[in-house]
């Protein structure tokens, strides 16, 4: 059977990364002997406006990636239609995130879908609002939650021309009705197939680190998260299975080592990126054993993500011994009361400062993630964030990632924002992180966008320059020129 996978994606400046879920599904389809193709928009779509300069780190390659993109969105729709017509797949599989869903729909809308073609959607966006995704006239099936087991059964049923409507984790259209199967179809972590990266553009493998682009791969050890931040959809996913799927589970050490060794050799890797939500949440005994084997058998530098809560002397020693070069940490805001009460993230500023110091003392780079434009946030609260960012820079934190709050469908904060009428009517559910998600009485979308534009400058310049930066918030030509000069100046001095 001919199967076309579609990765509707805007590769961030400087690379994208191979999507783990999709690469596993490709492997499943190939193993079953199907004729598989991939349509990946990452390096095909021209996105000059994507991710305006929100931090200072850039390399020459970032710009090269930009200029190599080929088509405007409407041209890409035509290219996609031609490719589908030429290949003639029986099954077209889309995997989307909320910011990339619209692009997938543009591609789908441009198709002359034939009667015997089936379209299936999966990924996090379909998981959190399946009822909306399946309403599209050209969508036949939606995968809700984890897809590996459901997709595997689906292919068996489809190839055998058997009825596939009863497979758990799938919602299917049947004679005008929607069959909603339960969400409890998952594999034990050690049984999850490997990623198959062959069909992806090589550029997905490059990740810039300290001014160099290194061949690296995102890998997963665990699924789920024990925390319940109000701006994250993780909790919704936990709730959907009604307790039938453990909300945190992980692979065995042996399985991880075997899998990572395979990727290291076949892809000639120089680095790994553990994409687990909170790597250090893994049990201590597991971590110690993994660290020992990783060092002995893999021995490549790696990135990981962690909460400040899990960073302590013992964990940092483990990270250092096994070759961790960088940790990413979500701080989100500078005001700890707001972080605890509104974001449901009970981490104190003292814990964050201590984590940054400990990591820096051990030579591990630390990148922090912040957001602005959250429900109930004020300009003063945003300046608490700027102030805290300055503190973190002063103790060695690397250039930050600043994002506009994104009202992901179904997360607690989106529900609140909708109830309060805070959603920005001009918000585009697309690639942009510089478009304000909210427009509130105490903090307008225009003000949020002005602060996003100037955030990097506010966190770096001497404070006597604040009135100048404030003028730049308006985003006029002179303001943009001033910001460009400031950004260039600090870019050259940033920790690469
Ligand atoms: S720690 Fe990360 S993954 Fe876990 S709930 Fe918070 S934002 Fe979501």
Domain segments of the chain as ranges: 2-180, 212-491
Any atom of ligand 1 within 6 Å of the Cβ of 232: yes
CA distance 239 to 211: 42
Instruction: Confirm if 17 and 42 have CB atoms less than 8 A apart.
Output: no
Instruction: Confirm if 96 and 104 have CB atoms less than 8 A apart.
Output: yes
Residue 432 has what pLDDT?
A: 58
Residue 224 has what pLDDT?
A: 86
Higher pLDDT, 133 or 184: 133
- 231-249 pLDDT per residue, tens: 998 887 777 777 777 778 9
Report how far ligand 1's centroid is from the alpha carbon of 232 (Å). Answer: 6
Report how far ligand 1's centroid is from the alpha carbon of 278 (Å). Answer: 8
Q: Locate tokens 């389809």: which residue?
A: 29
Any atom of ligand 1 within 6 Å of the Cβ of 329: no
Residue 94 has what pLDDT?
A: 97
Over residues 10-36, the mean pLDDT reads 87
Over residues 85-108, the mean pLDDT reads 95
Residue 433 has what pLDDT?
A: 62
**Helix 379-394 vs helix 445-458: angle between axes, to the nearest 10 degrees?**
20
Report how far ligand 1's centroid is from the alpha carbon of 329 (Å). Answer: 10
DSSP state, residue 161:
T
Over residues 213-218, the mean pLDDT reads 91
Any atom of ligand 1 within 6 Å of the Cβ of 317: no
Report how far ligand 1's centroid is from the alpha carbon of 48 (Å). Answer: 30
pLDDT surpassing 90 at residue 203: no
DSSP string covering 303-325: EEE--GGG--HHHHHHHHHHTEE
Task: Give the position, in ligand 1's atom list, of the atom nearest the Cα of 278.
Answer: 1
Question: What's the CATH architecture for 212-491?
Answer: Alpha-Beta Barrel (3.20)
Any atom of ligand 1 within 6 Å of the Cβ of 249: no
For the chain, what is the mean pLDDT? Answer: 90
Higher pLDDT, 74 or 84: 84
Any atom of ligand 1 within 6 Å of the Cβ of 278: yes
- What is the CA 462 to chain-centroid distance, rounded? 33
Any atom of ligand 1 within 6 Å of the Cβ of 225: yes
Residue 60 has what pLDDT?
A: 44
Any atom of ligand 1 within 6 Å of the Cβ of 229: yes
Range 2-180 classified under CATH 3.40.190.10: no
Task: Give the position, in ligand 1's atom list, of the atom nearest the Cα of 233.
Answer: 8
CA distance 82 to 4: 13
Closest CA to 405 of 376, 377, 374, 434: 374
Residue 64 has what pLDDT?
A: 46
Report how far ligand 1's centroid is from the alpha carbon of 143 (Å). Answer: 22
- 341-353 pLDDT per residue, tens: 999 999 999 999 9
Report how far ligand 1's centroid is from the alpha carbon of 339 (Å). Answer: 13
Nearest CA to ligand 1 atom 6: 229
Higher pLDDT, 115 or 38: 38
| Tokens of residue 329, six digits | 């940490």
Report how far ligand 1's centroid is from the alpha carbon of 223 (Å). Answer: 11
CA distance 218 to 17: 7
Report how far ligand 1's centroid is from the alpha carbon of 275 (Å). Answer: 12
Report how far ligand 1's centroid is from the alpha carbon of 73 (Å). Answer: 32
Over residues 138-166, the mean pLDDT reads 94
Any atom of ligand 1 within 6 Å of the Cβ of 234: yes
- 258-304 pLDDT per residue, tens: 999 999 999 999 999 999 988 998 999 999 999 999 999 999 999 99
Residue 245 has what pLDDT?
A: 76
DSSP reduced 3-state for 475? coil
Determine what percent of the chain is predicted with pLDDT higher than 90.
73
Report how far ligand 1's centroid is from the alpha carbon of 463 (Å). Answer: 33
Residue 427 has what pLDDT?
A: 81
Q: Within a 10 A sphere around the Cβ of 274, how many other Cβ atoms?
A: 19
Determine what percent of the chain is predicted with pLDDT higher than 70.
92
Mutation test of ligand 1: which of 220, 228, 233, 234 has the most ligand atoms closer than 8 Å to its C-beta? 234
Nearest CA to ligand 1 atom 3: 277
Task: Give the position, in ligand 1's atom list, of the atom nearest the Cα of 345.
Answer: 6
Mutation test of ligand 1: which of 226, 236, 274, 278 has the most ligand atoms closer than 8 Å to its C-beta? 278
| Tokens of residue 395, six digits | 């103790």
Report how far ligand 1's centroid is from the alpha carbon of 194 (Å). Answer: 24
Any atom of ligand 1 within 6 Å of the Cβ of 412: no
List all residues 6 or more positions away from 204 whose beta carbon is below 8 Å from its beta carbon.
11, 15, 16, 17, 18, 42, 197
Task: Give the position, in ligand 1's atom list, of the atom nearest the Cα of 305.
Answer: 2
pLDDT surpassing 60 at residue 73: yes
What is the rounded end-to-end Cα distance, in angstroms, of the chain? 47
Nearest CA to ligand 1 atom 2: 277
């Amino acid at each position: 059977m001919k199967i076309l996978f579609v990765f509707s994606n805007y590769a961030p400046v400087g690379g994208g990364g191979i999507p783990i879920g999709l690469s596993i599904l490709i492997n499943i389809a190939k193993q079953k002997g199907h004729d598989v193709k991939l349509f990946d928009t990452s390096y095909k779509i021209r996105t000059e406006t994507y991710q305006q300069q929100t931090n200072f780190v850039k390399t020459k390659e970032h710009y090269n990636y930009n200029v190599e993109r080929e088509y405007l969105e409407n041209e890409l729709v035509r290219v996609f239609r031609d490719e589908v017509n030429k290949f003639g797949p029986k099954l077209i599989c889309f995997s989307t995130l909320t910011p990339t869903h619209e692009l997938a729909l543009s591609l789908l809308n441009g198709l002359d879908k034939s009667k015997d073609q089936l379209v299936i959607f999966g990924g996090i966006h379909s998981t959190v609002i399946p009822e909306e995704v399946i309403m599209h006239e050209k969508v036949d099936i939606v995968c809700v939650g984890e897809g590996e087991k459901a997709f595997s059964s689906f292919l068996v049923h489809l190839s055998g021309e058997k009825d596939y409507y009863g497979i758990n984790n799938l919602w299917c259209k049947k004679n005008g009705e929607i069959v909603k199967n339960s969400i409890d179809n998952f594999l034990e972590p050690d049984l999850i197939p490997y990623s198959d990266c062959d069909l992806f553009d090589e550029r997905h493998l490059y990740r810039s680190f300290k001014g160099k682009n290194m061949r690296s791969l995102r890998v997963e050890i665990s699924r789920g998260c024990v925390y319940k931040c109000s701006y994250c959809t993780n909790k919704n996913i936990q709730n959907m299975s009604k307790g039938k799927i453990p909300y945190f589970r992980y692979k065995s050490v042996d399985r991880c080592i075997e899998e990572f060794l395979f990727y290291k050799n076949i892809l000639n890797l120089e680095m790994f990126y553990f994409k687990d939500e909170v790597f250090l949440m893994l049990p201590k005994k597991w971590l110690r054993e993994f660290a020992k084997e990783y060092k002995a058998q893999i021995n490549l530098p790696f990135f990981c993500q962690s909460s400040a809560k899990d960073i302590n002397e013992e964990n940092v020693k483990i990270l250092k011994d096994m070759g961790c070069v960088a940790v990413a940490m979500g701080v989100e805001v500078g005001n700890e009361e707001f972080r605890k009460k509104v974001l449901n993230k009970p981490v104190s500023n003292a814990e964050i400062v201590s984590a940054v110091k400990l990591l820096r003392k051990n030579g591990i780079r630390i990148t922090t993630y912040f957001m602005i434009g959250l429900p109930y946030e004020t300009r003063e609260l945003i300046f608490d964030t700027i102030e805290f960012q300055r503190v973190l820079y002063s103790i060695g934190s690397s250039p930050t990632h600043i994002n506009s709050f994104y009202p992901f469908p179904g997360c607690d904060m989106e529900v609140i924002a909708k109830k309060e009428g805070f959603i920005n009517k001009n918000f585009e559910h697309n690639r942009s992180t510089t478009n304000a998600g909210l427009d509130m009485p105490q903090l307008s979308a225009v003000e949020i966008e002005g602060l996003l534009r100037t955030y990097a400058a506010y966190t770096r310049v001497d404070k006597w320059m604040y009135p100048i930066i404030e003028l730049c918030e308006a985003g006029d030509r002179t303001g943009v020129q001033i910001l460009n000069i400031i950004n260039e100046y600090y870019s050259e001095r940033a920790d690469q």
